[in-house]
A and B are shown apart, each in its own frame.
Chain A
Amino acid sequence: MSPGQRLYIIIVGCGRLGSYLANRLSRDGHSVVVIDIDESAFDALSAEYSGFRVEGDATEFAVLEQAKTDEADLVIATTREDNINLMVAQIAKKLFHVPRVMARVFEPKREEIYRDFGIEAVCPTSISGDIFLRWIEGSSAMDGKGS
């Protein structure tokens, strides 16, 4: 994925994260398709968004087929449900042979499973946890210095 290359990106879930990514990636000139089961979720897309909207359940093969997942350079699973994200990511990877698949996972224990499947996983729980811990450690270190 060289910079400047226009990618075909499918984003599953048009919530806060999904719509944020969709707006940014579309503005950067990529061809973006957002899939969400709820049509009203597309309201979160900005006026700059020039991609496509597919209303449907992304765990259904036909919906991913409709979004032309076989053509995708990248699939990002961003729904609120870990199980849905894992399922969508696996289908994209194994059945549609998408070169890069990314997913959000809330349960830190599941990160490992995703990686075993070759899926790039981000766990907001462990990321924010680590940051909090660093802050706490940083402030206690400073407290130590101060006394």
Chain B
Amino acid sequence: MKGKPVLIVDDERNIRLTLSQSLEPLGLEIDTAVNGEEALDKLKERDFGLILLDLKMPGMDGMEVLRQVSEIRPEIRIIIITAHGTIDSAVEAMKLGAVDFIQKPFAPKEIRELVSQVIDREKMDEQKATDYGSCIELAKKCVGDRHFDAAIEHVRKAVSLDPSRPEAFNFLGALLEIRGDHPEALKHYRAAISLDPTYEPARKNLRRATSLEPNGAIILDEVKKQQRREEG
């Protein structure tokens, strides 16, 4: 995927601009589309490796673009751009292989780090996944490939490497929820909360999963952030 162009899809000019400018130092070729229709047209012309996709757009929305991309070009990685607050239909997005989210407003460094992370993840394999962070990364790669059972396995490995951290339990909860194993999912969200009562993503997931709207957001983005802090 390294070297392949990146497509930015957002109806807001300032978002396209901020993202393009922030990614410039990575030396990646960047193209933009102002809506879903243009994005799909551009996909026919060029071989993109990564798409940064806004879910809320007039006309064809991001979710529909995601659905079509996952059918015609399942190998393309997707980063979803979200507004502050919950990510609507994130369960569905994850089912379609989108596991990376970036929330507005974004700092240029933050965007570069996430894009690099997604690109570097492609080179990962099981031999290299020997610590907590890389097991989680490998699991995300598997979600990108829609290999959910493999993803579950890698997250379980992360749990066994460090059972005292909430991130993997939360991720596992989300994956089990996707598989339809609701009681097990809740158990894992609760396990994450009991390890760290202040761990917001698991609290939000549990609140959502036990509410009347079970198809709301699965919160994963803060996992990445914590990992980054450790690495930095």
Contacts and interface: CB of A to CB of B under 8 A. Distances in A.
Interface residues of A, number: 15
Interface string B6-35: 000000011001100110000000000000
Nearest to B16: A50
**Most chain A CB atoms below 10 A, which of B13, B14, B17, B107:** B107
B84 A31 contact: no
A31 to B, nearest CB: 5
Contacts of B13: 50
Given A66-B84, A68-B110, A52 B105 contact: yes
Nearest to A68: B107
A91 interface: no
A51 B105 contact: yes
Interface in A41-64: 49-52, 54
Given A6-B22, A31-B18, A71 B84 contact: no
B14 A72 contact: no
A49 B14 CA distance: 8
A138 interface: no
Given A8-B109, A66-B84, 17 more contacts: A6-B108, A8-B108, A31-B22, A31-B105, A31-B106, A31-B108, A33-B105, A49-B14, A50-B14, A50-B17, A50-B18, A52-B14, A52-B104, A54-B105, A67-B105, A68-B106, A71-B110
Interface of B: 13-14, 17-18, 21-22, 84, 104-110
30 contacts: A6-B21, A6-B22, A8-B107, A8-B109, A31-B18, A31-B22, A31-B106, A31-B107, A31-B108, A33-B105, A49-B14, A50-B13, A50-B17, A50-B18, A51-B14, A51-B18, A51-B105, A52-B14, A52-B104, A52-B105, A54-B84, A66-B84, A67-B105, A68-B105, A68-B107, A68-B110, A71-B107, A71-B109, A71-B110, A72-B107
Interface of A: 6, 8, 29, 31, 33, 49-52, 54, 66-68, 71-72
